[in-house]
Amino acid sequence: MSGETGTHSKGTGLRVYAFAYLLFLYAPVALLPIFAFNDSQIIAFPLSGFTDRWFGELWEAEPLHESLMNSLFVGITSSVLATLLGICAARASTRYEFPGKKPMMGFVMLPLVLPEIIVGVAMINIIVQLGMDLSLWTVILGHVLICTPFAIAILSAAFASLDRSLEEASLDLGETRMGTFLRVTLPLVMPGIVSSLLICFTISLDEFIIAFFLTGADTTLPVYIWGQLRFPGRLPSVFALGTLMLLASLLLLTLGEYFRRRSARKTGIEHTAGGLV
């Protein structure tokens, strides 16, 4: 390859660029913990000493706790519903041939290629016309819609890598269709299901614009954060919150990856069943 002979210098040039690019990717994120521990209300350099009081403030912020609970509720409900829908669609598309398969699959994947504001606007129009009230459930309806295509993509990979002879063996040995699905198929695609749940949960937890349009009196965490960004005095504790959220999602990612590898070892599926990265 090009690194081996005459183009060696090009390789080093690229490497310098790659590290500079990583710096660019990390620059904003690196500021998050810095200002979360900085002992000043003003977000600016030079820094003025270390403090953990912004984290302390988080413990006392009642509305924050409420919006966090709301977001967890929305995230868990949406990810479970989207994954269930995703299992149906992924199973249908990888296992069966049926008329209208292509257009139907294309249509359910459509939210992937729609700007989120369009989804938000479309849903609020119908909700207003039907005279429904905005609540966390309307946010969930929107989040399930945008998470389902991701669930389908991840789960299709998991179902596609499934060895069909295992299912046929189970059927031949007298297990029912349902029994085969629950006892053979499901355990084998479990890593894909866990990945799908995690990805959908993360998308829902971070989603702002649909929640901004569809939320009622109860707000989700991003909508709460958006409200806080207008008050300069609140910024340090918002940064502290952001630091904790980053740590939590890294922990979740690592856990997800650990379980994926473990079950991949168990079932002999190698890196095919919709990994996180």
Stretch 81-140 residues interacting with another protein (CB under 8 A): 85-86, 88-89, 91-93, 95-101, 104, 107-108, 110-111, 113-119, 121-126, 128-129
To which residue do tokens 């630091």 refer?
243
Asked whether 83 and 200 are in contact (CB, 8 A), the reply is yes
17-54 in b/e burial notation, b at 16+ Cβ within 10 A? eeeeeeeeeeeeeeebbebbbbeeeeeeeeeeeeeeeb
Minimum distance from residue 145 beta carbon to another protein (Å): 5
Minimum distance from residue 68 beta carbon to another protein (Å): 12
Q: According to the binding rule CB under 8 A, does residue 186 interact with another protein?
A: no
Minimum distance from residue 91 beta carbon to another protein (Å): 5
The SS3 call for residue 38 is strand
Task: Return the range that interacts with another protein (CB under 8 A); candidates 31-39, 56-64, 154-162, 184-192.
Answer: 31-39
Q: Which token pair is 233?
A: 């005095």
Identify residues 1-30 at the interface with another protein (CB under 8 A). Answer: 1-3, 6-7, 10-11, 14-15, 17-18, 21-22, 24-29
Task: Return the range that interacts with another protein (CB under 8 A); candidates 153-161, 192-200, 203-211, 262-270.
Answer: 203-211
Give the residue, chosen from 47, 132, 182, 250, that forms a contact with another protein under the rule CB under 8 A. 250
Q: According to the binding rule CB under 8 A, does residue 208 interact with another protein?
A: yes
Nearer to another protein by Cβ, of 69 and 121: the residue is: 121
Give the residue, chosen from 135, 253, 259, 272, that forms a contact with another protein under the rule CB under 8 A. 253
Question: How many C-beta neighbours within 10 Å does residue 227 have?
Answer: 13
Minimum distance from residue 183 beta carbon to another protein (Å): 19
Please, which residues have CB within 8 angstroms of residue 149's CB and are 6 or more apart in sequence? 108, 109, 110, 111, 112
Bridge partners (DSSP) of residue 44 are: none
The SS3 call for residue 50 is strand
> Helix (H) and strand (E) counts for the chain?
12, 0
Minimum distance from residue 157 beta carbon to another protein (Å): 13
Nearer to another protein by Cβ, of 95 and 262: the residue is: 95
Identify residues 210-249 at the interface with another protein (CB under 8 A). Answer: 212-213, 222, 225-226, 229, 238-239, 242, 245-246, 249
Minimum distance from residue 99 beta carbon to another protein (Å): 4
Q: According to the binding rule CB under 8 A, does residue 269 interact with another protein?
A: no
Q: Would you give the distance in Å from CA 176 to the centre of its chain?
A: 35
Q: Concatenate the DSSP letters of all residues of 93-144 into one string.
A: HHH---TTHHHHHHHHTGGGGS-HHHHHHHHHHHHHHHTPPP-HHHHHHHHH
